[in-house]
Amino acid sequence: MRYLIAKNLPVRNLVTSDFVVVNEPVAGYYGLGHEVNSGFQFVAIKPKRTDLGGVMTEAAILSGLSDGRESNPVKRGAWLARKIIAQPPPSPPPNVPPLQEDTKGLTLRQRIEQHRSSPVCGSCHSRIDPWGVAFEDYDASGRLKKIKADSQSKLPDGTAIEGADGLKQYLAGPKIDEVAFSVLKHLTTYAAGRSLSYAELDHLRRDGLKLKKSDYRMQDMIRYVAESPMFLEK
């Protein structure tokens, strides 16, 4: 985020970019140690790998959204819906059984589909799981699996994508307005120090579109928030 703001880059770089910001330890974790010689200083490099770039495929994010043993599409999907496109899923109803871990012979995707087949669970999971399944090529540590997984997914609006790279292109293209709104929402909430009302969110969603003509650049978005009534009247 600091790099995107300093360079005043478009918000689409939050979800997809041809560079990563790493220091030597982080580069080593990604298998890029030979490309970085900066010690603990973070620098931007272009690794020419489509599995990297953007916040969604950072190992710190993906590993935090796992159970330590395997990937967790439900956690990853709920996080993306909540943080990246500002469409938080509803809280699960009481007494909903957890995803079974000991279902013999079933893949993780099959266990999720079995869980989603329940009428109680299906309505929520249909808006969560498709986002998370796209990250199935990444293991619990946030790195690419040695054996490619089934990461094809059909998103809630019916769009079919192939893995995290397809999801990145979708979010940076047709879904960029939602991504920009989510950033504006979180910036404004942080700046105002409070939750936003429905009317404020609706205004932000509609009025924020005027930043699209300048490609939703990060410094423009921060200025927009700093000059907004929600911040000035806090």
Q: What is the DSSP string of 166-189?
A: HHHHHHHTTTHHHHHHHHHHHHHH
pLDDT of residue 232: 81
For 2, list phi and psi in degrees, rounded to 5: -60, -40
Give me the pLDDT at residue 34, please.
93
Task: Give pLDDT, residue 43.
Answer: 96
Comparing C-alpha atoms, which of 24, 1, 29, 12 is closest to residue 138?
29
Residues 6+ apart with CB under 8 A from 112: 73, 74, 99, 125, 129, 133
Task: Give the CA dihedral 38, 41, 47, 53, nearest 10 degrees.
Answer: 180
* Segments making up each domain of the chain, as ranges: 2-48, 57-172, 176-232
pTM of the model: 0.87
Report the pLDDT value the prediction gives residue 110, as an integer from 0 to 100: 63
Q: What is the pLDDT of residue 119?
A: 57
Q: How high is the pLDDT of residue 222?
A: 97
Question: pLDDT of the chain along its 234 residues, tens only?
Answer: 999 999 999 999 999 999 999 999 999 999 999 999 999 999 999 998 889 999 999 999 999 999 888 888 989 999 999 999 999 887 766 665 555 555 555 666 666 665 555 555 555 667 788 999 999 999 999 999 999 888 999 999 999 999 999 999 999 999 999 999 999 999 999 999 999 999 999 999 999 999 999 999 999 999 999 999 888 875
Q: Which of 7, 139, 158, 15 is nearest to 83 (CA)?
A: 15
Return the amino acid letter for 229: P
**Pure H helices in the chain:** 2-6, 24-29, 59-64, 73-79, 108-116, 119-125, 129-133, 163-172, 176-192, 198-207, 218-226, 229-232
Q: Tokens 């910036």 belong to which residue? A: 187
Q: Are 11 and 216 in contact (CB under 8 A)?
A: yes
- Nearest CA to 179 among 215, 213, 133, 154? 215
Question: Would you tell me how many other CB atoms lie within 10 Å of the CB of residue 165?
Answer: 17
User: How much is the pLDDT for 127?
Assistant: 79
> Is the CB of residue 55 less than 8 Å from the CB of residue 69?
no
